[in-house]
Structure 1
Amino acid sequence: MIPGPTPVPEKVLEALGRHPIGHRSKDFQDLVEITTKNLQWLHQTKNDVLTITGSGTAAMEAGIISTLSKGDKVICGENGKFGQRWVKVAQEFGLEVIKIDAKWGSPLDPENFKKILEKDYKKEIKAVILTHSETSTGVINDLKTISSHIRNHKKALSIIDCVTSIGACDVPVDEWELDIVASGSQKGYMIPPGLSFVSMSQKAWKASEASNLPKFYLNLKSYKKSLSSNSNPYTPAVNLVFALNEALNMMKDEGLDSIFARHKKHRLAVSEAAKTLNLQLFADENHLSPSVTAIQIKDIDAEQFRKTIKTKYDILLAGGQDHLKGKIFRVGHLGYINDRDVISVIAAIGNTLVELNKISTEQVGEALKIASFHLKVT
Structure 2
Amino acid sequence: MPQMKKYLFTPGPAPVPPEVLLEMARPIIHHRTPEFSAALDQARDRMKPLYGTRSGEVILLSSTGTGAMEAAVINLLQAGEHAIYVNGGKFGERWGKLLSTFGMIGHEVRVEWGRAARPGQIEDAFKAYPESRAVLVQASETSTCAIHPVAPIGEITRKSGAMLIVDGITSVGVFEQKMDEWGVDAFVTGSQKALMLPPGLGMVALSARAIDAAKTNKTPRFYFDLLKELKAQRDEHTTAWTAAVSLIFGLNKSLELIHAEGLPQVYARHALMAEATRDAATALGLKLIAPDNPAPGVTGILVPEGLDGGKLVKFLRDNLGVSVQGGQDQMKGKLVRIGHMGHLSPFDTLIAVSALELGLKHIGANIQLGAGVAAVQARLARSI
TM-score range, shorter-chain basis? over 0.9
The aligned residue for residue 244 of structure 1 is: 251
| Inter-partner Cα distance in structure 2 for 1:356 and 1:100 | 37
What whole-Å deviation, never above 9, does each CA across 1:232-267 have from its counterpart, x for those lacking one?
Answer: 100010000110011000000111111111111111
User: Is 1:365 the counterpart of 2:370 in the alignment?
Assistant: yes
User: Is 1:132 the counterpart of 2:121 in the alignment?
Assistant: no
Identity of counterpart residues, as a percentage?
33
Decide which of 149, 167, 184 is 1:178's aligned counterpart.
184
> 2:76, 2:213 within 8 Å by CA — same for their partners in 1?
yes
Quote how far apart the aligned CAs of 1:356 are.
Answer: 4.6
What whole-Å deviation, never above 9, does each CA across 1:24-68 have from its counterpart, x for those lacking one?
Answer: 101111111111110112212121000000010111111111111
User: Is 1:333 the counterpart of 2:350 in the alignment?
Assistant: no
Matches within 5 A, 1:39-58: 39-46=47-54, 47-58=56-67
The aligned residue for residue 354 of structure 1 is: 361
User: Is 1:313 the counterpart of 2:320 in the alignment?
Assistant: yes
User: Is 1:211 the counterpart of 2:217 in the alignment?
Assistant: yes
User: Is 1:75 the counterpart of 2:84 in the alignment?
Assistant: yes
The aligned residue for residue 374 of structure 1 is: 379
The aligned residue for residue 6 of structure 2 is: none
| Inter-partner Cα distance in structure 1 for 2:178 and 2:379 | 26
Counterpart residue type for residue 295 of structure 2? S
Unaligned runs of 5+ in 1: none
What whole-Å deviation, never above 9, does each CA across 1:187-212 have from its counterpart, x for those lacking one?
Answer: 11000000010000011011112211
Counterpart residue type for residue 88 of structure 1? K
The aligned residue for residue 99 of structure 1 is: 108
> 2:215, 2:227 within 8 Å by CA — same for their partners in 1?
no
SS in 2 for 1:197: strand
Structure 1 stretch 174-183 or stretch 347-356: which is displaced more?
347-356
> 1:303, 1:325 within 8 Å by CA — same for their partners in 2?
yes
Q: Provide TM-score, normalisation by structure 2.
A: 0.94
SS in 2 for 1:339: coil
Quote how far apart the aligned CAs of 1:354 are.
Answer: 3.3
The 4+ residue runs of structure 1 with deviation greater than 4 A are: none
The aligned residue for residue 34 of structure 1 is: 42
Q: Alignment length, in residue pairs?
A: 372
Q: CA 1:225 to 1:344, structure 2 compared with 1: closer, same or farther past 3 Å?
A: same
Quote how far apart the aligned CAs of 1:357 are.
Answer: 4.9
What whole-Å deviation, never above 9, does each CA across 1:311-355 have from its counterpart, x for those lacking one?
Answer: 221101101112221111111111211123210111111123334
SS in 2 for 1:32: helix
Counterpart residue type for residue 81 of structure 1? K
> 1:180, 1:201 within 8 Å by CA — same for their partners in 2?
yes
User: Is 1:65 the counterpart of 2:74 in the alignment?
Assistant: yes
> 2:317, 2:323 within 8 Å by CA — same for their partners in 1?
yes
> 1:82, 1:131 within 8 Å by CA — same for their partners in 2?
yes
> 2:115, 2:292 within 8 Å by CA — same for their partners in 1?
no
What whole-Å deviation, never above 9, does each CA across 1:292-314 have from its counterpart, x for those lacking one?
Answer: 11111122110111111122211
| Inter-partner Cα distance in structure 2 for 1:148 and 1:249 | 33
| Inter-partner Cα distance in structure 2 for 1:187 and 1:28 | 24
| Inter-partner Cα distance in structure 2 for 1:140 and 1:364 | 30
> 1:167, 1:335 within 8 Å by CA — same for their partners in 2?
no
- CA RMSD across the alignment: 1.4
Q: CA 1:223 to 1:356, structure 2 compared with 1: closer, same or farther past 3 Å?
A: closer
Q: Provide TM-score, normalisation by structure 1.
A: 0.95
SS in 1 for 2:136: strand
